[in-house]
Copies of this chain bind each other. A is one copy, B any other.
Amino acid sequence: TLAAPAIAQSNPKITWRCTSSFPKSLDTIYGGAEVFAKHISEATDGNFQIQVFAGGEIVPGLQAADAAAAGTVELCHTVAYYYWGKDPTWALASDVPFSLNARGRNAWQYHGGGIDLMNEFFHKQGLHALPAGNTGVQMGGWFRKEIKTVDDLKGLKMRVGGFAGKILEKLGVVPQQIAGGDIYPALEKGTIDAAEWVGPYDDEKLGFQKVAPYYYYPGWWEGGPTVHLMFNKAKYDELPENYKSLVRTAAQATDANMLQKYDYLNPTAIKQLVASGAKLRPFSQEILSACFDATNQVYDEIMANNAEFKKVWESIKAFRNEHFLYAQIAEYNYDTFMMVQQRNNKL
Q: Which residues of A contact B (CB under 8 A)?
A: 1, 3-4, 7-8, 10-11, 39, 42-45, 47, 98, 101-104, 106-112, 136-140, 199-200, 217-220, 223, 241-242, 245-246, 249-250, 252-253, 255-257, 259-261, 263-268, 270-271, 280, 282-283, 285, 288, 292, 317, 319-339, 341-343, 346-347
Contacts and interface: CB of A to CB of B under 8 A. Distances in A.
A88 B102 CA distance: 32
A106 B347 contact: no
Contact of A108 (B264, B332, B333): B264
A248 to B, nearest CB: 8
Contacts of A343: 328
Counting from the closest, the 6 A-B pairs by CB-CB distance are A42-B245, A256-B256, A111-B264, A107-B263, A267-B322, A4-B4
9 contacts: A43-B242, A110-B257, A219-B330, A249-B250, A280-B329, A292-B337, A324-B335, A332-B335, A332-B336
Interface centre among A4, A11, A242, A334 (most CB of B within 10 A): A334
Nearest to A1: B1
A42 B223 CA distance: 34
A109 B263 CA distance: 11
B330 A139 contact: yes
Contacts of A246: 42-43, 246
A320 B22 CA distance: 31
Contacts of A219: 330, 334
A321 B339 CA distance: 9
Given A108-B264, A245-B42, A292 B8 contact: no
B218 A337 contact: yes
Contact of A103 (B3, B103, B250): B103
A322 to B, nearest CB: 4
Contacts of A138: 330
A111 B256 CA distance: 12
Given A39-B245, A44-B242, A260-B106, A265 B111 contact: yes
Nearest to A270: B326
Contacts of A337: 218, 220, 285, 288, 292
Contacts of A271: 322, 325
Given A328-B339, A328-B342, 13 more contacts: A42-B246, A43-B246, A103-B260, A106-B263, A107-B261, A111-B260, A137-B334, A219-B334, A246-B246, A249-B249, A285-B337, A320-B338, A321-B347
A330 B257 contact: no
B288 A45 contact: no
Nearest to A334: B218
Nearest to A223: B334
A11 B8 contact: no
A218 B339 CA distance: 14
Contacts of A317: 347
A139 B333 CA distance: 11
B8 A4 contact: yes
A42 B70 CA distance: 29
Given A104-B263, A257-B252, A321 B342 contact: yes
Contact of A253 (B8, B101, B256, B268): B256
Given A280-B329, A335-B327, A253 B249 contact: yes
